Each structure stands twice: as C-alpha cells, then as structure tokens.
Structure 1
C-alpha cells in the first residue's frame, strides 16, 4: 500500500538529529528493523526527511520503538476527513449482525 503525506507549500524536509541510543537499544533497533523489513511492513528509503528513534520500556521488560514525528507533523497538511470517533462507530454498529 502506498501512502503520501501532503506538506504545506514551501515546506522543507525535516531532518532531526538522532538521539543517543545505548548498545542494547541499538541491538533492539537492528532486530526490529530486520523483522519489519522481512515482513514487508517497511522498505529502505532515500527520503530527505529524517526523524529520531527512541525506546520506552514495556511492562514485560522489552523495549517499544517510537519515532518522533513532531517536526514532520508541523509541516503536514491536516486531513479534512478526520478518523471517526470510536464511540460513534460503536453507536453505528448497534443492532448490526
């Protein structure tokens, strides 16, 4: 599936410096990227945009990979068609079989 992010006119590529990652975080990053590439969820990119990666601890002791897209979000054109609210979707499904 292809997806395009529309940017505000004149917006320049956002490039943020990568934050320091520990050796265990770097190993987890490699593991997660290898997994996502193998599954076809991501692909190599030559985009001029860059966003930093960070990790937060999971309850089970693992690491959750997060990407900080705040700089990109600032220059992104917001959707005119927002995602429906969950409570509205549930209300619409009441009585459906």
Structure 2
C-alpha cells in the first residue's frame, strides 16, 4: 500500500544517504504497480516469471543431442520454483542427458 511504500522509500533513501551513495532522480520511479528486475516481474501479488522469457522457452527448438537437452534443462532449471512438480519432470528429463540416449 501507499503508506508501506513511503516507509520503505524513506528507509532506502536514508540508507543511501548514510552510505554516501546517490541516486539520480531522473532515473528513479516511484509508486509504480510493478517492476521488472533480474528476469522477473515483481508486483503486489509477488514475484513472477517475465512472460517474454516464457515465450522464448516455449519456442525453443527441440533438443537433438544430450548436450542440447542439458542446455534446455539448465534454462528450465532456473525457473524451477515457478513450475509445479518440476522435480518430477526434471528427473525423467535428466535421463535424456546421458550419452547413450538415442534422439529421433
């Protein structure tokens, strides 16, 4: 809410002043409903995956080798906390990263 935001803002500005750090006012944004930060969207309802990142993963080419599969699994692993049952999915996917697996 607005009061909490003002209190947090006051704390941050005081901390910056104490540490002799400065923020350029023209680059600051206040009272915005959501912000993108480190590949995530943060708003009043929590932290969410950026939809642009989901789209890029959705259209990722199908892996054709264990190495490519490992790359995809690593990328998906970054978002594990946003995917329900990810550990079960990853377990079966990890088997496909072994050298003797045939890809069609």
| TM-score, reference length from structure 2 | 0.25
Whichever of the two has the greater Rg, that structure is 2
Relative contact order: is structure 1 or structure 2 higher (C-alpha 8 Å, sep ≥ 6)?
A: 1
Larger helix percent:
2
